[in-house]
Structure 1
């Protein structure tokens, strides 16, 4: 039985206690003091490299509230009056729950340039409930094995079995979040739908994960992942991707991300309009900008970390202006590019667990860290 059902606003509020521990637009907006837009987002989405052009064109100042992780996002929304946030930036796996809890406004698909998106992202799972659209994909990326090329070759990283290699004892790190890590190890166990597994498969996944603990050096946040991989404290980190290694290569680190034969996990980011936003029209313009070529190019190259974009025009510009970065991200023409990997079934969308509760996965991850 599927336990992870869409939840109500009341259950969001209950969970919050736990989670808390030139573009066409009226020219009048360009006169006078800037209008403000509030945004709830992962870090980086409202920094100058992302929004400075939009702010200048529309005489807008975007005021961000940054969160770390879906649980904190849920807590902030549950504790805030409707209309507090004009724009909500979220991972795709949370969108349906946010919509069901009445935190998001419905969107009109005709307002956004979906015809410029690759077909895989024109009707992206989780962004729709029936015929109602609640989010527009902004960017995405693949998670596999990120590794130091001086220690581990691409060939060696072609399977998650590498993680148990004797030479990597005390040299494997974890980004401290259960969804990407358990998803990757679920693929190793042969689960074609890594987040929809029965009781037997769940127990096997827990055994596989616990058996890896002797190899683990530590559990890290974003900054810790960057520093530990850069300074050689760890040589391999599963469940992360170019969002880390792309940043490190900017500083000259000899690292890369390999998608193992068992497959990789896709993270997906999106923008929505907050429920009862008093500036919904301006928020819509923001999402339109970010879905267009200029916004997509910016999103692919954010200082916080690079990512793949769904826009064909954005790909074309990346290939022309930043060919090496585009290649590393998989935005190139021909076999082996990001869209090809998706079409070949090698990439699996990150989801919330289907047959266990999110608390089951979180509790096990805590157990694993403490073992």
Structure 2
């Protein structure tokens, strides 16, 4: 008789749609081992791309939907995500500024749970541009940067920062009237002679790393925090006109038949050990909105906690928000998303 060893139970597959990096081993390997699950990720770049990919997929395709905060309302209105019970997650651990993060709620109903955030301003080559120079968006028009200004190819962060340059900080750089919108288009088109390229995710890293591009607006430490690890002379600052905040959060995909497992993953990634992984994500770093996440990263990697200003003693990263220097990224309020996207295409082809 031939004895056949018992076969290990096949891993359950959990499907997510996310920005690049969230389904990589440094983020999910521990959870996969804990729950005998294999996380399969579909990656996108930009919320518009995310919506298009979900629209092309049958309901139930994605168990987990990672999105930027400003797209949660659009996901809900399209019927792409489930309602969520706030009591099932680590909501009590959030800093006050994120305890009831408005874009994630429709009335008293929760649709997404925040995981991480970061700030966008000007990223620059420190051998060409000083920190003082980079602290004003107008540096982008300096003659020494002709042909050396780059763009991460997504309209919202770029136009948001340039709107701040135009002085549109009240109520928001994304809530502008027709005259302000016309001025913003004029401002953006005037930058065209300075532009050396429009880059995807990988190209943004490479162009700053190899010196092809000296400055970009609308990005931040999520790019330069990675590039600096390789020794490249780059940094990011929030200019005097203000900066933009990005947030990433998880929703449960409409029609998922693995909602219990999806909830477990969201609880894991927002726990202290999950937040340590999120803060140090290999693809791009991000700050934690969870108090226990700050405690955990200060224990696990105090240098990274200090670099990202997640410290309890002295000034910290949330102070920028409290001081009014940071504006939440939104979809356009008085124009349509298509208006901004169409103009961005016009600008690229000008």
Report what 2:245 is aligned to: 266
Report what 1:339 is aligned to: 318
Partner Cα separation in structure 1 for residue 327 and residue 187 of structure 2: 20
Which string of whole-angstrom CA distances, capped at 9 and with x for unpartnered residues, describes residues 87-123 of structure 1?
1111111111111211111110011111111111111
Report what 1:236 is aligned to: 215
Residue 58 of structure 2 is aligned with which of 59, 81, 84?
81
Partner Cα separation in structure 2 for residue 54 and residue 185 of structure 1: 40
Counterpart check, 1:215 vs 2:194? yes
Contact 2:276 2:300 survives alignment (8 Å):
no
| Within-5 A mapping of 1:97-116 | 97-116=74-93
Counterpart check, 1:368 vs 2:335? no
TM-score, normalization by structure 1: 0.89
Report what 2:136 is aligned to: 159
Report what 1:190 is aligned to: 167
Residue 284 of structure 1 is aligned with which of 263, 269, 273?
263
Report what 1:173 is aligned to: 150
Report what 1:39 is aligned to: 16
Greater Cα offset, 66-75 or 221-230: 66-75
| Within-5 A mapping of 1:12-51 | 32-51=9-28
Report what 1:303 is aligned to: 282
Partner Cα separation in structure 1 for residue 325 and residue 337 of structure 2: 24
Partner Cα separation in structure 1 for residue 235 and residue 58 of structure 2: 43
SS in 2 for 1:195: coil
Displacement, 1:51? 0.6
Which string of whole-angstrom CA distances, capped at 9 and with x for unpartnered residues, describes residues 330-350 of structure 1?
322355421100011110111
Which string of whole-angstrom CA distances, capped at 9 and with x for unpartnered residues, describes residues 4-25 of structure 1?
xxxxxxxxxxxxxxxxxxxxxx
Which string of whole-angstrom CA distances, capped at 9 and with x for unpartnered residues, describes residues 133-153 of structure 1?
000011111000001111111
Contact 2:114 2:247 survives alignment (8 Å):
yes
Contact 2:47 2:71 survives alignment (8 Å):
yes
Which string of whole-angstrom CA distances, capped at 9 and with x for unpartnered residues, describes residues 235-287 of structure 1?
11111000110111111112110000111001110101111211111111111
SS in 2 for 1:126: helix
SS in 1 for 2:129: coil
Greater Cα offset, 175-184 or 321-330: 321-330
Report what 2:3 is aligned to: none
* Structure 2: gaps spanning 5 or more residues: 1-7
Greater Cα offset, 61-70 or 182-191: 61-70
Report what 1:20 is aligned to: none
Displacement, 1:309? 1.1
Residue 247 of structure 1 is aligned with which of 226, 234, 238?
226
Residue 141 of structure 1 is aligned with which of 96, 118, 124?
118
Partner Cα separation in structure 2 for residue 68 and residue 207 of structure 1: 26
SS in 2 for 1:144: strand
